[in-house]
Amino acid sequence: MKAMVLAAGQGTRLRPITDSKPKALVPVAGRPMIEYALLLLRHYGIREIIINLHHFGEQIESLLGDGKGHGLELSYSRETELLDTGGGLLKAKSFLQDGSFIVINTDALIDLNLADVIAFHKSKNATATLVLRPDDNAEQYGSMDIDDRGRICRFLRSKAPMEPLGPVRKLMFSGVQLLEPAVFDYMSASTTTRKFSTTRETYPKMLVAGEALYGFCFEGFWQDLGTIERIRQAEERLASGHATLHYL
């Protein structure tokens, strides 16, 4: 299985640190932020990884190189303009289209058992499995509803054509997802260099079309790293032992 790590963002909420370096290289507990995603993937035997680059992307490539120093095989997708998640995935289609693949955002820490996610995805014969988490503010920031089967029945404002099975849970996206190449069928070939979002464009189309979109409910340690304060919170939780990352 291959993977993509999304690392092209400008990290505007982390300024002034990101005025001279990419968000992916901002240190978190002594490691560049991107290293956590790479180590998680390597722990589960996923070594062929593509990283998208934009803001100071050459610094990321200079540090990581071909990945051999981390026991990985790294490739890069350079974006002259930011393409968002959908555009970034579509640009990397030739690397990802051969089978199931994982996509991870750089700016979050998660103590996730990827083997469980992969097993869930296969058991549901899913086209897309999004790792979702409970959050008291889910409705405020944009929630996704899953039913008793784990099937996503509402994605932001879009609803699935089938009725949910049993009560639904409102959850938020964690930044980790497992996808099948069929997702590219919902991305127009003419948009190869256009900025677009999977959450705002691709997944709503798939949901309305009745594709098998599932949510894997994760209730373990997760921490957003989008601001300096949240990085400090993550470091404090790790240092105190209130949170651990099993793949380190």
What does the pLDDT look like over 26-69, one tens digit per residue? 999 999 999 999 999 999 999 999 999 998 889 999 999 999 99
Q: Is 226 helix (H, G, I), strand (E, B) or coil?
A: coil
8 Å CB contact between 64 and 5:
no
The fold of the 2-240 domain, in CATH, is: Spore Coat Polysaccharide Biosynthesis Protein SpsA; Chain A (3.90.550)
Alpha helices of the chain — where are they, by DSSP H? 33-43, 57-64, 84-91, 93-96, 114-123, 138-141, 203-208, 228-240
pLDDT tens sequence across 68-109: 999 999 999 998 888 898 889 999 999 999 999 999 999 999
Least confident among 45-54, 108-117, 139-148, 167-176: 139-148
How many Cβ atoms are within 10 Å of 145's Cβ, its own excluded? Answer: 21
